[in-house]
Amino acid sequence: MASDDVLNIRSAPEASSDIIATLQHDAKGIEVVGTDDAKGWAIVNAGEQAGWVSLAYLRLVPDAMWTNMSSPLACYGTEPFWDVMLTPRAPSTLTVNADAYGPMIPVWESGAWGNPLRMILRHDIPDGEIVSYIEAESCNDGMSDREFGLSLRMIIDGSEGGLRDGAVLRGCCSIAER
């Protein structure tokens, strides 16, 4: 793509569909959250909405697979509102309804165990542990028109502040920071 050109993000996987946003010729950190391989298109996020770009203009970054955890995972959920930036090799803080819980100290990660599309992480917290199950699948936060390619379930074992034992938080994750 020429340096004075842009990549159009379209409303559907067709060159004639409406343009909803654009990407600069040198854009980096573009997260593909789904594909239509038959047509050669990929779903990406642009602000608070998702759209389609031609795969012909995207290049896979080596070792960018999310299971490598080379970048943090930004995860969010609703009911209750929560977020966490998961970095397996560094402490994380879980925020639920504006209350911070942690530190979440990483003690174990599963790898893929024969399925490259899932991962399990375990974090110690002051009064127990949190186990996170992350899976590559379509996910929506229910609040925007964004699409996510990763779902997350966090299971609280023990009490942590206002979180009750056995609580399960469900949400979506992104390798691109929000």
Q: How far lies 26's CA from each of 64, 70, 73, 161, in Å? A: 17, 21, 23, 45
pLDDT reported for residue 114: 62
pLDDT of residue 42: 92
Q: Which domain holds residue 39?
A: 6-57
Q: Determine the pLDDT at residue 23.
A: 92
Q: Identify the pLDDT of residue 169.
A: 92
Which pLDDT score, from 0 to 100, does residue 160 have? 60
In degrees rounded to 5, what are phi and psi of residue 57? -105, 5
Q: Which candidate, 162, 96, 104, 92, places its Cα nearest to that of 130?
A: 104
Q: Kindly report the CATH number assigned to the domain that includes residue 31.
A: 2.30.30.40
pLDDT at 62: 63
Decide if 29 is inside a domain.
Answer: yes
Residue 72 and residue 52 in one domain: no
> 169: closest CA among 47, 105, 81?
81
Whether 1 is in a domain gets the answer no
Q: What is the structure's pLDDT at 48?
A: 84
| pTM, to two decimals | 0.77
Residues 103 and 143 in one domain: yes
Residues 76, 156, single domain; the answer is: yes
In this structure, are 42 and 101 located in the same domain?
no
* Number of compact structural domains in the chain: 2
One domain for residues 44 and 77? no
For the chain, 178 residues long, the average pLDDT of each consecutive 10-residue run is 88 95 87 87 89 90 68 87 84 86 77 69 83 89 85 84 79 79
Distance, CA of 18 to CA of 142 (rounded, Å): 24
Establish if 76 belongs to a structural domain.
yes
Residue 97 lies in a domain: yes
Same structural domain for residues 29 and 88?
Answer: no
Q: What is the pLDDT of residue 63?
A: 59
